[in-house]
Each structure stands twice: as C-alpha cells, then as structure tokens.
C-alpha cells in the first residue's frame, strides 16, 4: 500500500479564503497556509498534489502556492452540495490508488517538529488499511468535530479500530456511543483533518449520494459505512490541530508556529513585554 498522491479540500464557503492567508512559518519565512500544508505533504515524499477549489478560484490558489509548486493541480468542485462532493471531484485525479487527504483550513503543529502526514501514511502502509488522525478533545468542544467510537488495538498505545463515526455529536450522544476505554474522563477522539483513504471511499460516497439525491453529502456518514465494511483505523497523534476558521484561529496558529520555531525566545520576550506594557497602561489609567 504505497501512498503517492494527496488531496486538499478548500472549496467550502468558509474555506475559500483561509488557505490564502499569510503566516510566518517556523523558519521565519512568509508563507500562505496552503504553502505550509503543501510543505507538510511534500516532506512526506508525495509530489502529486491536487487542491479542490470553488469554481473560479483556480488562479488565486495558483498564485498562493507560487512557482516552487508547479506540480500542484487545481480541481473545481462543480457540485457545491457538501464535503463529500469535494472528494468526488478529485476521483479521476486519484484513480485507483490510496491517497493522503487534508482539509484546507487546519494546520498541524507539534513540539517535536515531526511530520504528521508521514505518521499517518506510515500507519496506513503498515496496517494496509485506511487511517485517520485523531486527537483527544474535551467534551465541550466535540460539537465542532467529527468524533469516533472505537477500541484500542491490543498492545498499541496510539491505534484504534474505528467502530462509529459521528459528525459534531452532542455530549449526550458521545457519552452513550463514543466513549473509548483508556481516555481521560470527559475526552473523546476527534478527527484532526488528516487521513489516508482508499478509492473504496468514492464508492461509498456515490452510493450515499444515490440513496439521498438532492441532500447535502457529508463525509462522516460514509466513513462510518467504511468502518462497517472494512478495516479502518485511527492513529492518535501528539500534536495540536489549529482550525484557522474559528475565532482567533489564525492568531492561535501563528503563535503556535512561532513558539515551535527558531524564534521561540524572541516571541516569548515580545509577549512578556506586551503584557508588561498592558499592565502599566491599566495602572496609569486610574
């Protein structure tokens, strides 16, 4: 099971502009969010990359990746009715191979500066099956994420057999159906927006689209179908995902990048100075 292609979804109404935003990366270089994601993919040894975009956004995205990534192709999502159609738009590009999939509005940062995409790919290749990255998430936040139920594999600290998938569940539903033994109380495993899928997913998406014509086609329902029909694992990663579409998401992602890079001490000193000046201003205002 060799993964040689990658797909980034960036066509959603709330996603269109987010990958085009500029941040300062760990090495103090100005890059768009899209470039940082592509760096992650390329560092994992994948050179065939497609980005699914809203029709008409192709030129904006081409400019965002610059001349260093002329191998990236941009595919318009002609059916806007859901995330599932974003993946189906790239079916011809993917062909019959397994592929890495990332969402265009998340960044991934960890203390060890480890390549997260490579970890997911390695888990998929070793186990010869689809794998999704997950991370423990407090129950008051699971309403924002796809959440899994599953069983920890015997002898493994970070691998789980997925048995259930629910998009943005309520805490009540999660407590009844998605609790996983071994996690801290009040925590659940939620998707990080990074996966390795096989083309079997396209079959499941098309089947669901035909069964519910005209309805919005999500992804989580088909992932639960996949868990029922084939081996499907989750790998728990020691990283932080940053949803740049949430309030202050870009700010959080920028701070995390800076504090994990070579300018960590400089940024900490700047933050300290900021709070000192703020406290002085507050005291002088009385």
DSSP 56: T
Closest to 99 (Cα-Cα) out of 108, 110, 91: 91
For residue range 38-71, list pLDDT tens digits in order.
Answer: 999 999 999 999 999 999 999 999 998 877 778 8
The CATH number for 156's domain is 3.90.550.10
Q: Could you tell me the CA-to-CA distances from 35 to 51, 61, 110, 117, 188 in Å, in that order?
A: 12, 10, 18, 15, 31
Residue 284 lies in a domain: no
Structure confidence at residue 239 (pLDDT): 67
Domain count, the chain: 1
For residue range 140-178, list pLDDT tens digits in order.
Answer: 999 989 999 999 998 888 999 999 999 999 999 999 999
Residue 79 lies in a domain: yes
Residue 285 lies in a domain: no
- Mapped onto helix, strand or coil, the DSSP state of residue 265 is helix
Residue 252 lies in a domain: yes
**Residue 285 banded pLDDT, cuts 50, 70, 90:** low
Q: What is the mean pLDDT of residues 18-35?
A: 91
Residue 277 lies in a domain: no
| Residue 254, both tokens | 């920028």
Residue 281 lies in a domain: no
Q: Which domain holds residue 166?
A: 5-272
- Mapped onto helix, strand or coil, the DSSP state of residue 168 is coil
Helical pair 58-65 and 33-43, crossing angle rounded to 10 deg: 60
**Residue 233 banded pLDDT, cuts 50, 70, 90:** very high
Residue 100 lies in a domain: yes
Residue 81 lies in a domain: yes
Name residues whose C-beta falls within 8 Å of residue 179's C-beta, 6 or more positions apart in sequence.
149, 188
Structure confidence at residue 112 (pLDDT): 67
For residue range 174-223, list pLDDT tens digits in order.
Answer: 999 999 988 888 999 999 999 999 999 999 999 999 999 989 999 999 99
């Amino acid at each position: 099971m060799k993964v040689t292609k990658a797909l980034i979804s960036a066509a959603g109404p709330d996603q269109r502009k987010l990958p085009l935003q500029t941040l300062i990366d760990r090495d103090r270089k100005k890059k768009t969010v899209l470039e940082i994601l592509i760096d992650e993919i390329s560092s994992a040894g994948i050179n065939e990359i497609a980005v699914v975009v809203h029709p008409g956004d192709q030129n904006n995205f081409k400019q965002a990746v610059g001349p260093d990534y002329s191998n990236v192709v941009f595919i318009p999502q002609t059916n806007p009715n859901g995330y599932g159609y974003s993946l189906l738009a790239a079916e011809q590009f993917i062909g019959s191979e397994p592929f890495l999939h990332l969402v265009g509005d998340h960044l991934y940062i960890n203390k060890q500066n480890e390549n997260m995409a490579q970890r997911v790919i390695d888990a998929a290749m070793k186990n010869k099956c689809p794998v999704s990255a997950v991370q423990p998430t407090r129950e008051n936040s699971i309403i924002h994420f796809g959440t899994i139920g599953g069983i920890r594999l015997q002898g493994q600290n970070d691998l789980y057999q997925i048995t259930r998938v629910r998009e943005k569940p309520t805490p009540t539903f999660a407590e009844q159906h998605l609790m996983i033994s071994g996690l801290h109380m009040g925590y659940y495993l939620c998707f990080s927006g990074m996966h390795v899928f096989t083309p079997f997913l396209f079959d499941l998406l098309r089947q669901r689209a035909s069964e519910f014509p005209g309805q919005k086609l999500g992804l989580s329902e088909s992932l639960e179908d996949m868990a029922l029909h084939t081996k499907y694992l989750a790998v728990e990663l020691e990283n932080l995902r940053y949803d740049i579409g949430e309030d202050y998401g870009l700010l959080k992602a920028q701070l995390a990048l800076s504090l994990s890079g070579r300018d960590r001490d400089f940024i900490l000193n700047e933050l300290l100075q900021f709070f000192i000046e703020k406290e002085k201003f507050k005291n002088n205002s009385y």
